């Protein structure tokens, strides 16, 4: 068997302290998972109904790589988020079952064309062009869950050009990681290789060409890069 055209390269991320790479299948994202961020966007949090969207796997950009400023926007925003990588799959899971799917953790930016998102919201249109564009998902190297200790006091933060822009503890999450995975598993059969962006805290703002970003899930993962 041969393909009609060259098959796409499988997107992947490095693993901290290893030569192995983590293959990426899909990228799921939750919206409005920190109440202060929902408020700054003029929205409210619906605790009973988490809101999801997706990015293509090949939107992922590795640590240290440049992010090209995207076309068709003049308001590119950063959203720093904890990223969860799934090592196994399942559907219709309880939160207790869901947490066993987690292979590792990282930190990423859910880059957003905020002007196109505002237009989409106003018109009742889908968010794809605002969220799922090329290079819209920089993610750190992943750290295996077996090496990670996270709790309510764990800190997620982002600096741009050395200035702190976003900072939170994980205690501010509306839906916990097990709850997010369980909710997603009622909508999709989850698979090994799926990544989940778990929402951003308040402080989202614009990035310009030349800006250097430094995202951290403190003690777990770091992501550095530049917008060009
Ligand atoms: Mn986000």
Residue 35's closest CA among 194, 146, 205, 172? 172
Position 84 confidence tier, pLDDT thresholds 50, 70, 90 = very high
Ligand 1 center to 199 CA (angstroms): 5
- Rounded to an integer, the average pLDDT of 139-144 is 98
How many CB atoms lie under 10 A from the CB of residue 65? 14
Could you tell me which residues come within 8 angstroms of residue 158 by beta carbon, excluding any fewer than 6 positions away? 78, 80, 109, 164, 165, 166, 167, 203, 213, 214, 215, 216
Ligand 1 center to 79 CA (angstroms): 6
Q: What is the pLDDT of residues 204-213, one digit of tens each?
A: 999 999 999 9
Q: How far apart are the first and last CA of the chain?
A: 41
pLDDT at residue 49, as a whole number = 83
Give the pair of three-digit tokens for residue 16: 């901290």
Q: Is the model's pLDDT at 45 over the cut of 90?
A: no
CATH number (domain holding residue 190): 3.90.850.10
Ligand 1 center to 4 CA (angstroms): 36
Could you tell me which residues come within 8 angstroms of residue 191 by beta carbon, excluding any fewer than 6 positions away? 25, 26, 86, 89
- Range(s) of the domain holding residue 105: 12-226
Q: Is residue 177 part of a domain?
A: yes
Ligand 1 center to 1 CA (angstroms): 41
Q: Is residue 32 part of a domain?
A: yes
Q: What is the pLDDT of residues 147-161, one digit of tens each?
A: 999 999 999 999 999
Ligand 1 center to 170 CA (angstroms): 15
User: How far is residue 18's CA from residue 143's CA, in Å, rounded to a whole number?
Assistant: 9
Q: Is the model's pLDDT at 144 over the cut of 90?
A: yes
Ligand 1 center to 3 CA (angstroms): 36
Q: What is the pLDDT of residues 166-215, one digit of tens each?
A: 999 999 999 999 999 999 999 999 999 999 999 999 999 999 999 999 99
pLDDT at residue 46, as a whole number = 82
Q: Is residue 163 part of a domain?
A: yes
Ligand 1 center to 112 CA (angstroms): 8
Q: For all residues of the chain together, what is the average pLDDT?
A: 97
Ligand 1 center to 162 CA (angstroms): 22
Ligand 1 center to 90 CA (angstroms): 24
Q: Is residue 65 part of a domain?
A: yes
Q: Is residue 1 part of a domain?
A: no
Ligand 1 center to 31 CA (angstroms): 5
Q: Is residue 175 part of a domain?
A: yes
Which stretches within the chain are classed as H helix? 35-40, 95-98, 114-123, 128-131, 177-185
Q: Is residue 2 part of a domain?
A: no
What total number of domains does the chain contain? Answer: 1
Q: Is residue 6 part of a domain?
A: no
Ligand 1 center to 30 CA (angstroms): 6
pLDDT at residue 213, as a whole number = 98
User: How far is residue 222's CA from residue 187's CA, in Å, rounded to a whole number?
Assistant: 31
User: How far is residue 214's CA from residue 118's CA, in Å, rounded to a whole number?
Assistant: 26
pLDDT at residue 89, as a whole number = 98
Ligand 1 center to 40 CA (angstroms): 13
pLDDT at residue 87, as a whole number = 98
Ligand 1 center to 204 CA (angstroms): 9
pLDDT at residue 44, as a whole number = 85
């Amino acid at each position: 068997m041969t393909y009609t055209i060259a098959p796409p390269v499988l997107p992947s991320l490095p693993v901290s302290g290893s030569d192995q790479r983590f293959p990426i299948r899909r990228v799921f994202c939750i919206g409005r998972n920190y109440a202060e961020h929902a408020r700054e966007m003029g929205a409210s949090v619906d605790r009973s109904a988490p809101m999801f969207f997706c990015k293509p796997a090949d939107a992922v950009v590795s640590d240290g790589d440049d992010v090209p400023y995207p076309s068709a926007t003049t308001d590119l925003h950063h959203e720093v988020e904890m990223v969860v990588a799934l090592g196994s799959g399942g559907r219709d899971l309880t939160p207790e079952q869901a947490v066993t799917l987690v292979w590792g953790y990282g930190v990423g930016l859910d880059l957003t064309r905020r002007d196109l998102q505002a237009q989409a919201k106003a018109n009742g249109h889908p968010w794809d062009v605002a969220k799922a564009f090329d290079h819209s998902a920089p993610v750190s190297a992943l750290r295996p869950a077996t090496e990670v200790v996270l709790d309510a006091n764990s800190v997620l933060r982002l600096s741009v050009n050395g200035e702190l822009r976003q900072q939170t503890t994980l205690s501010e999450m509306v839906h916990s990681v097990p709850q997010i995975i369980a909710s997603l598993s009622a909508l999709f059969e989850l698979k090994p290789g799926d990544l989940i962006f778990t929402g951003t805290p308040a402080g989202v703002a614009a990035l310009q060409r030349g800006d250097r970003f430094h995202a951290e899930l403190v003690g777990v993962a770091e992501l550095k890069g530049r917008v060009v």
